[in-house]
Structure 1
C-alpha cells in the first residue's frame, strides 16, 4: 500500500452544524422518518445520489472507477428512546425502553410523547420523586424501568384522562438530547451515538466531492434500526466486498478508547473484525498522521453484525469516536470526529490491495496470507510475503 497521504481536509464547522441539526430531530428506533428526510435533503444539496428503502434506510453512492469489489461505510440514524407500556391509574405512564439503556439515565429526563393527536411534553421520574413526601426513601428506590414513570405536562389524573388526550399504549417517547458544544471542543449530549457518526460521514462525503475518483464505488449507508439489532442487513449491495461501520467507542476504565483520535475496534460481541481490513485502517492512520488506538468491546455490536448474520460475505471493521458515559449523557471531542472523517477520506481514496475480493468466489489464486512465522525468524522472501491489507 502506498505511503502517500490520502486524507483530505475536513470542514469542522460544517461537521458541527450537521451534528447540531441532527440532534434537534427526535429519532428513536421506529420513529425515524423525519431524520431520514433531513439526511436525504442534505445529500441532495451535496449533489450525491441516493436510494431509499421502504422503511427509510438510505444508500448513497460515490462512483468509483470500478463497481466490482465496492466498499461501504455505514452508521445509524436511530437512537435510544422509550414506548408507553401502560396508562396508569394515577395519570402517569409506564414505559419500556427502546434499545438497551439504563433507567438510571432516564430519571429526570425531559421527553416528548408522540401520539396520533399530537405531541405532549413530559418528565421521567422515579416512583417516589418528592423529598418533602418520602424523605430518605427516595435514596432507597431501586433502579429499573419498573421504578420510573412519565409525568405528562397536561391535565391527567387517571388512565381515562390520558386516553382522552389521545395517549395510547405503544406511543413513542423521545428523550431530549440537551446538547452543549463547548469552546474547548467537547460535545456533551444524549444521542451522540450515533448522530455524531452520521455527521462524520456527511463531512467526509462533502470533502470527497471534488477529490479524485475512488478506485471502486463507495456506498454510504444510513440505517434506521441499529439500536434494536437490525443494522445493515437489508441495505448492503451484493457488489460490496468490505464494510466499515462508524459508531462510538467506550471510553471507560478497563477500555483503551479515547475521546481524541480514532479508536479502531479489533472485536466486539460478534467476534474479531476482519484481519486485513482492520490492519489496513491502522496503516492508513499511520501513513496519514492520524492519532489512533485499538480496543475490544465486550458488550457491543454494530451495524455490521446483522449483515454478517444474514450471510453477507464481506470484510468488516469498526472505527469509532471515544464516548464517555455511552448510552447515558454522553461526551465526545471534536478531535475524534475530525480524525474519523479524515480516515474515511483516506480509506475511500486508498488503492485496492486484494483484487480477488472483486469476485464472490474463486480458487486459491490471490487469496490473502497471515503471518505465521515466529517474530524472531528472518523475513520471508518477497514471493512469500504476507499480502497487503484489504
Structure 2
C-alpha cells in the first residue's frame, strides 16, 4: 500500500466515524424499540433506492463523458482520455469508498426512520393540530396561509404544476444524497450528512413525536368540530377530478391519492415504502433547506435554483394541504441552526475534514 493510499484510507475513516456513530446508533435504537418484522418489510423497499442511486451515478458519468469528448486532445484515444479523467477525478478511493459507505447506511437508517414515523400516533396521539392552526393564524395576522395563497395558486393548472414540483422533491432528495456521497468537497459533504442524520433523528423522530400532528389535509379526521381546511380540500378534490389534455382524471393531482394512501395505511397498519403521517416539523422543508446550504457557495445558478425550489416546496406544502406554514418555518430555522452548530463544533474541537485535491478540468480543444 502506497503512502497516498494509506492517507486516503485514514481520511476516509476519519470523515465517516462520526457519521456512522450517529447513523448506526439510531438504527440500533430502532432495533431495540421497533418490531423487527416491520423493519424487514420496509428495508427491502428502501434498499431498492440504491438501484436508483446507481442509475443516477451512471447517468452522471455518461454525461461527464459527453462533456469530455470535445476536450480530448487531438490524436489521443477518446476512450483512454475519458477513462483517465474519470479515474483520477471521480473513481478515487475516498470518493468511491464514501459512496459505498453512504449507500450501505442510508437504507437501514431510512427504514428505521420510516417505522418510527409509522409508530408516532401509537406513542402520542395527534394532539397539536389545533394549536398549529392557531399559530398559523397568529403568524399571518389572523389569516389562514392557504387562503392568502389561493388567489395566486387556486387555479387547476397552477395547482397541478405545484403538485408536480412538490413530488419532484423525492428526485431532488435522492440526487442530493448521490451528489454529496461522491463529492470531492469533503468538508461540505461531512456537514451535509451529519446534519441530514441529526435532522431526521431529532426533528423527524423526536420533535415529530413530541408535537404529534397530522396536518391540514387530515385536520377534519383528527380534530372534532368544524374543519377550517374543508374548503381547501374540496378545491383540491375538484382539481383531482378535472380533465387536462394528455392526463386522465386519475393523474392530475397526486397529492390527494397519496394522502388517501397514507390515511389507509394509518388505519390498517400496512407497511409500505412511503408511509407515516407527521406534519411538524416538515422534512420536505428541512431537506430543501439543506439543498440551499449545500449550493450556497457553489455556482450562482445552483444557489438561485435551490432557493426557488425551497420556496416552491414551502408554498406547495401549504397549498396542497400537507403542512401548516409553521411546520416549514420551524424546519428552515432549525436546519440552518444545526448547520451552523455543526460548523461551530468542528471549529471548537479542531475536527478537520480536508477536501480532496483533484486535477484541473481539461480545456475545450
Q: TM-score if structure 1 supplies the norm length?
A: 0.24
Query: With structure 2 as the length reference, what TM-score do the two structures score?
Result: 0.25
The answer to which structure, 1 or 2, has the higher relative contact order (CA under 8 A, 6+ apart) is 2
Instruction: Give the structure with the higher percent strand.
Output: 1
- Which is helix-richer, 1 or 2? 2
